[in-house]
């Protein structure tokens, strides 16, 4: 009887723990199992703003066509705790981007982290703690 009670409690906890916890912003739109690595990404725009900061950059695909990407990260308040500033990333910078792409397959996603030309790594406040 006790074992059954424990099992049923664990089952209930397990079920309820799948309910999204109250958070600032969910990431259900993104493939968060694995980040896509995008090398030689040329930054075109960096918006340091609320509700979320985002980055726009161009990357050539395997056929040599330029693809315009956009990736969001946390708010300035959250990112500044991780070393970001309004001027960390600037148009023209060539960087490496690790990004969780949208499930739609479009070139948009949530950043895991970026690597600046000098090797500095900047992580996202929500998903940057994840392994790539």
Residues within the interface to other proteins (CB under 8 A): 1-2, 4-5, 8-9, 12-13, 16-17, 21-26, 28-30, 47, 49-52, 54, 56, 70, 72, 75-77, 80-82, 102-104, 106, 108-109, 123, 125-126, 128-131
- Give min distance, CB of 31 to other proteins, in A: 11
Of 62 and 131, the one with the shorter C-beta distance to other proteins is 131
Phi first, then psi, for residue 80 (nearest 5°) are -65, -25
Shortest CB 12 distance to other proteins, Å: 5
In the complex, the smallest distance separating the C-beta of residue 70 from other proteins, rounded to whole angstroms, is: 5
CB of 3 to other proteins, least distance (A): 11
CB atoms within 10 A of CB 113: 20
Longest CA pairwise span in the chain (Å): 66
Q: Please measure the distance between the N-terminal and C-terminal CA atoms of the chain and give it in whole angstroms.
A: 44
Residues 6+ apart with CB under 8 A from 114: 55, 89, 95, 96, 97, 98, 121, 122
């Amino acid at each position: 009887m006790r074992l059954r009670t424990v099992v049923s409690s664990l089952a209930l906890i397990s079920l309820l723990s799948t309910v999204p916890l109250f958070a600032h912003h969910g990431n259900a739109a993104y493939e968060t199992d694995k980040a896509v690595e995008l090398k030689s990404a040329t930054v075109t725009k960096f918006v340091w703003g609320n509700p979320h900061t985002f980055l726009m950059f161009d990357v050539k695909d395997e056929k040599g066509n330029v693809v315009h990407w956009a990736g969001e990260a946390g708010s300035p308040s959250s990112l500044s705790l991780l070393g970001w500033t309004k001027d960390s990333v600037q148009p023209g910078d060539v960087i490496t981007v690790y990004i969780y792409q949208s499930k739609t397959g479009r070139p948009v996603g949530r950043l895991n982290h970026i690597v600046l030309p000098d090797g500095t790594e900047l992580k996202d406040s929500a998903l940057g703690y994840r392994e790539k």
